[in-house]
Amino acid sequence: MVKSLLRGGATVVAIGLLGLAACSSKPGLRAPVEDIGHTMHPASTRATEVPKANGAPTTPVSTAIVDPNSGKPGYYTVKQGDTLIKIGLESGQSYREIARWNALENPNRIEIGQALRVVPPEEAVVVKPVTSAKVSSTALPPASAASAPAKAASAPASSPAPAAPVNTATEDDIAFAWPAKGEILDGFDESKNRKGLDIGGSNGDAVLAAADGKVVYADAGLRGYGKLIIIKHNSQFLTAYAHNQTILVKEDQVVKKGQKIAEMGNTDADRTKLHFEVRKQGKPVDPSKYLPAR
């Protein structure tokens, strides 16, 4: 009798253990243990915090570097979310030039707080020493000294050389052309952060260079612009062409006004359109003020 009870108890225990094993092996169920792979370790992953004062919430301490050139004219201080392409667009420069001016080995690696030169380095001005003429130490006789002014006065005045014609053209005198033929969907509005014109159309419609210039960017590395082309026209102006379906030019390529540079598309956009910007010294300006009337 006792043996039978012992056998039965062992059987119950065995069944219970098998049941527990079956439950733990079902998908979606986890034993109440710590998942090391997803545990946040305060010492290694949390931002350093400032101690609370008067019950105020804690504020993460910035880990940005402090660059001595920050705030100086001609420099841009890198902020959260910046890329070299974005900095180039907002400063009116080629991102490749910025990388070269700052000796950046990897253009994709910049740090918050880093001050980057965004204007060409000033060339050293070489000042040549003035060579003074030798002065005779012998005094002039009184008669010669008195007659010198008279001779100088009697000499005929030489007629001035004709002035060279002044070129009144400036870098502002760029004759821009429309980059696409579609209707205007949205106009420039600085208060609403509309930095250019949205021109409607169909996939594959031609996108044209608005003026002669050099392609300084042709890729899809700037969020919100899709496949983007940036053309620099001179030291003052550049134009941007966004949301293209196909890019037909390469960086460093020289293009002519009216040349087909892309095909219209809807990359990173809600519909097929061309977003067109004119930037003067990196600042967006109203393209309609530079384009001819339709």
Q: Which pLDDT tens digit goes with each residue over 269-285? A: 999 999 999 999 999 99
pLDDT of residue 57: 43
pLDDT of residue 63: 57
CA distance 267 to 59: 38
Higher pLDDT, 212 or 8: 212
Higher pLDDT, 24 or 34: 24
Q: Domain 184-289 sits in which CATH superfamily?
A: Glucose Permease (Domain IIA) (2.70.70.10)
How wide is the angle at C-alpha 250 spanned by C-alphas 80 and 215, nearest 5°? 65
169-189 confidence digits (pLDDT tens): 466 779 999 999 999 999 999
User: Over 80: is that where the pLDDT of 123 sits?
Assistant: no
| Domain definitions of the chain by residue range | 60-121, 184-289
Higher pLDDT, 272 or 164: 272
User: Over 60: is that where the pLDDT of 121 sits?
Assistant: yes
* Domain topology for 60-121: Membrane-bound Lytic Murein Transglycosylase D; Chain A (3.10.350)
What is the dihedral sign for C-alpha 280, 286, 289, 294?
A: positive
pLDDT of residue 124: 38
Assessment of whether the complete model's pTM goes beyond 0.85: no
